[in-house]
Every structure is written in C-alpha cells, then in structure tokens.
Amino acid sequence: MSSVARSIHLVVVWLFVACCIVQVFLAGLGVFDTPTQFEVHRNFGYTFGLLVFVILVAAILGGLGRRQIALAALLVVLFIMQSVFVAFRESAPAIAALHPVNGFLITGVAIVSGWMAWTARRAPGTT
C-alpha cells in the first residue's frame, strides 16, 4: 500500500504542476482574449484543486515523512486561500491582488514537493 501511495503521490503532484501551468494560460486568455474566459479559469481551478487532497492523502498513506506531508498540507491551505483572496475583489483589491502571487507560491510548493518525491523514489522512508 505504501509503495502504491508513493507512486500515486508522485504522479498526482506532477499532474497538479501541469494543471497550474494550464491555469496560468487560462487566466491569460481571460486578460487577452475575452473576460468570459475567467469563468473557464475559475471552473478549472475548482476542478483540479481536488488534487491537493489526493496529494495529501497519498503523502500520509505513503509514509513520505513530515516534510512531504507538511508541503501537501501547505498546498491545501494555499489553495483554499486562492478563493479567499478573490472574495476580496470588491472590498479590498490589494488583498485580492495576492491571488496571482499565491498561485505562483502554489506552483512553487508543488514543484518542490514533486522534486522531493522524484528524488526519494529509490530511497523509501528517507524524506
């Protein structure tokens, strides 16, 4: 079970990184094509956001260690904050402006987590 969970974690975290890249593209469409594209950006974000929970559960079940579990938990928190930042669009635009910054943090944390999972794939229990 642990080996399967580690493999799932590795695949899903890199899938999540790919989705983050697509998400930036979709935001760009909303800016440079038509504002209605932001609906696609929003809906895709809510859909692939479910992957953060798969990443967290796989990290726990795979026994990936405190660092990987902490990174997975951080991804969950940062992803939840994405919606919180957008909610401040009208009342506090400066806070809402943290939405894209947080998106880059999410991507960075996911890349670090993926890199750690990749390098540890031959040495279970050393993360």
Task: Give one DSSP letter per residue of 26-62, joined into a string.
Answer: HHHHHHHT-TTHHHHHHHHHHHHTTHHHHHHHHHHHT
At residue 50, the pLDDT reads 94
Residue 84 domain-assigned (yes or no): yes
Per-residue pLDDT reduced to its tens digit, 45-66: 999 999 999 999 999 999 999 9
Per-residue pLDDT averaged across 57-86, rounded?
96
Residue 126 domain-assigned (yes or no): no
Residue 73 domain-assigned (yes or no): yes
User: pTM of the full predicted structure?
Assistant: 0.90
Q: State the total domains in the chain.
A: 1
Residue 24 domain-assigned (yes or no): yes
Residue 57 domain-assigned (yes or no): yes
Domain interval for residue 59: 2-119
Residue 127 domain-assigned (yes or no): no
Please state, in angstroms and rounded to a whole number, the distance separating the CA atoms of residues 42 and 99. Answer: 12
